[in-house]
Amino acid sequence: MMSEKRSIDPTALEALEIAEELGIGTAFSRAAKMKACPIGSDGLCCKNCSMGPCRLVKPGQVGVCGATRETVVARNLARAIAGGAAGHSDHGRDLCYTLIALSEGHAPDYKVRDANKLVRVAGYLGVSTKGKSIEGLAGDVGRASLNEFGRQEGTIAYAKRAPQKQQENWQEARVYPRAVDREIVEIMHRTHIGNDQKYDHILQQAMRAALADGWGGSMLATDVSDILFGTPAAIQSEVGMGVLEEDQVNIIVHGHEPTLSEMTLIATMDPELLELAKSKGATGINLAGICCTANELLMRQGVPIAGNFLNQELAIVTGAVDAMVVDIQCIMQALAPLSDKYHTRLITTSPKADIEGRTVRLEFEEGRALEIAKEIVRHGIEAFAERKEVNIPQLKTPAVAGFSHEYIRYSLGGAYRGTFRAFNDAVMAGRLRGAAAIVGCNNPRVCHDEGHLRIAKELIKNDVLVVETGCSAIAAGKYGLLMPEAMAEAGPGLREICETVGIPPILHMGSCVDNSRILTMIAEIVAEGGIGDDASQVPAVGLAPEWMSEKALSIASYVVGSGIPVIMSYPNIVIGSEVVTNYISEGWTKLFGAGLEFIEEWDEMVRRTLEIIDARREALGLEPYDPKRFAKSTVTWDEMMVNAAPVVFEQVVSLDDD
């Protein structure tokens, strides 16, 4: 599906025009020139050995080894899930190393910011807290977490946080996750030439690896990040390329890790560096983010976001980015030749990710984190002095983020009685029709942000509470949907809830590893009672309208395995096999109570979402959803807004907190 329209983001369109005038290529122009390989995109290219690559284009055709379409499509899906699970989990592992280094005194710039969460995580992992200092406990929790990635025996400790019924399903389907490293290795082994060949058997292992990601690697990544940098609470900031400042040094952090970017934020406030910036003619140092590093910093520190995945090149095209600091994942290789055309310093920092070209290499070390961060800022300041023409699109939108599941529970129940009861009651009464999670990327083969926006708007209009993560959440932020005022676009029931609780109709829950927060929330909703004994009864759906990364496939699979149906849009990478297509929808529904479907059209995704939600409501014996039943209040929206006090959220975790 190649869209005529390239983006609905006015700032992206403005920068694209400049890029075109200057003859600069971007992902948009490259996608237009480079047609997707029709065989690969259908999942029908097998390159797992060198007798091929085999292209199964004719009906009944098999590969040189005899592999069928079913085998090839299933193997390709499984390998993609392994890639995605590896990305999330390897990220989580590094956070554990930081926690251990902190406890051993090797990471002096870090401290435990959420000791309560540390104690809770110790409980999940069976680590005793008795007689331990915070640092001592951090070390033990770090080591126990690390052990979860590579444990050779037993099962992932965190999987016990899932509803009991889900765990029973996993045991029965033989997908109970053991350890994420092991599950990924086993996928690679099973899909090696001449090994596992039965499509459903291959996909069994794919599901086990995905569950190990969701309930293991990703959940540990989220929890350890919260321990180190604070559990997010509602916080207001801004989203859009207009967050770049013409008269300040602009430093963009891009990628996925909070570890060095948190230090970079501190470095931007360093008096000496601020003086240096002023000496070069800048009025200050402005830090902004792109992709999930941005989400990590927005959620906890309120750092503004310049854009999502497809904004990364366009930010440089503004001529106003003095340094772009990249760590891991979703970083386009094209950034290096592009930044070469500008004054921008492209700084690579991860020991796992380097880029060819004129880049600055500042490899992250825990023991010198702040020192490296200051060096990064210094590069940005030096580059500022070399700026040429600057064209910053003048558009930025206020947004509220920070909705960890802990904060949602707090906002629904209060400090002493945090609970999801209000959510469950609202679904039971029909005030809320259900819930949806919209997640995932941008993909230049579909109109940038259009799917995220259109689906989110339609769902809230239909009284579906929406939670978002990743680039989808950034898209919602750009168009004002993360502000409480967006409740004006919500259906009557959802609007009443937003008014009462003081939340936007769309809740930003974090980065892509933070989809694990959604799993925890669903487990707590089930434990609260009234809308199902397991997640496969809860009226909720997951959607990925503009996905492109392997991580999206891992997320979709673990969400399905956890009982919530998922709808992904273009591209349908299992279309090459009807058998596999049916298996991951109907077959997985039999095993886990939820299936994975690919639907290309946005409106059809919405229709199907509501159909699933309504069917689940009916199965629970709840009354059919009726939009006319609630919101009988005679106060109009305009009257309410005139009388309303402005909604101001305090930043709960400050950088100076102990």
- Residues near ligand BF8 (CB under 6 A) are 256, 291-292, 308-309, 330, 440-441, 470-471, 511-512, 549, 551
Q: Which of 204, 182, 194 is nearest to 46 (CA)?
A: 194
What minimum distance in Å lies between the beta carbon of 308 and ligand BF8? 6
| CB contact burial 553-575 (16+ within 10 A = b; e otherwise) | bbbbbbbbbbbbbbbbbbbbbbe
Looking at residue 47, the DSSP 8-state letter turns out to be: -
Q: Rank residues 440 and 563 by Cβ distance to ligand BF8 and give the closer one.
A: 440
What minimum distance in Å lies between the beta carbon of 598 and ligand BF8? 17
Q: Rank residues 166 and 469 by Cβ distance to ligand BF8 and give the closer one.
A: 469
Output the six-digit token pair for 2.
């190649």
- Whole-number CA gyration radius for the chain: 24
Output the six-digit token pair for 360.
């600055």
Question: Which residues have a Cβ under 8 Å from the Cβ of 419 and sit 6 or more positions away?
Answer: 409, 412, 413, 528
396 and 304 Cβ atoms separated by less than 8 Å: yes
Could you check whether the bond before residue 59 is cis, i.e. omega within 30 degrees of 0? no
Looking at residue 159, the DSSP 8-state letter turns out to be: G
What minimum distance in Å lies between the beta carbon of 251 and ligand BF8? 18
Q: Give the other-Cβ count within 10 Å of 53's Cβ.
A: 14
What minimum distance in Å lies between the beta carbon of 85 and ligand BF8? 13
**46 three-state secondary structure:** strand
534 and 428 Cβ atoms separated by less than 8 Å: no
Indicate the helix (H) or strand (E) that contains 455: helix 450-461
Q: Rank residues 170 and 229 by Cβ distance to ligand BF8 and give the closer one.
A: 229
Q: Rank residues 470 and 565 by Cβ distance to ligand BF8 and give the closer one.
A: 470
Residue 237, beta-bridge partner list? 399
Looking at residue 645, the DSSP 8-state letter turns out to be: P
Distance CA 534, CA 526 (A): 6
Q: Rank residues 92 and 532 by Cβ distance to ligand BF8 and give the closer one.
A: 92
Please report where in the chains the tokens 């629904």 appear, as a residue. 412
Distance CA 58, CA 62 (A): 9
What minimum distance in Å lies between the beta carbon of 176 and ligand BF8? 26
Distance CA 216, CA 221 (A): 8
What minimum distance in Å lies between the beta carbon of 579 and ligand BF8? 28
What minimum distance in Å lies between the beta carbon of 547 and ligand BF8? 7
What minimum distance in Å lies between the beta carbon of 216 and ligand BF8? 17
| Distinct helix (H) and strand (E) counts, the chain | 27, 16
What minimum distance in Å lies between the beta carbon of 263 and ligand BF8? 20
Q: Dihedral angle at the C-alpha atoms of 177, 140, 126, 130, nearest 10 degrees?
A: -170
Output the six-digit token pair for 223.
């929890």
Residues recorded for the chain: 658
Q: Rank residues 11 and 549 by Cβ distance to ligand BF8 and give the closer one.
A: 549
What minimum distance in Å lies between the beta carbon of 83 and ligand BF8? 11
Q: Which of 489, 418, 433, 469 is nearest to 628 (CA)?
A: 433
Q: Rank residues 90 and 534 by Cβ distance to ligand BF8 and give the closer one.
A: 90
Could you check whether the bond before residue 393 is cis, i.e. omega within 30 degrees of 0? no
Q: Rank residues 452 and 495 by Cβ distance to ligand BF8 and give the closer one.
A: 452
Q: Which of 100, 256, 82 is nearest to 181 (CA)?
A: 82
Q: Rank residues 76 and 469 by Cβ distance to ligand BF8 and give the closer one.
A: 469
What minimum distance in Å lies between the beta carbon of 353 and ligand BF8? 13
Q: Rank residues 77 and 112 by Cβ distance to ligand BF8 and give the closer one.
A: 77
Indicate the helix (H) or strand (E) that contains 411: helix 405-413
Alpha helices in 151-257 (DSSP H): 164-173, 180-190, 199-212, 219-229
What minimum distance in Å lies between the beta carbon of 292 and ligand BF8? 3
What minimum distance in Å lies between the beta carbon of 195 and ligand BF8? 29
Distance CA 360, CA 312 (A): 18
Could you check whether the bond before residue 53 is cis, i.e. omega within 30 degrees of 0? yes
Q: Rank residues 85 and 100 by Cβ distance to ligand BF8 and give the closer one.
A: 85
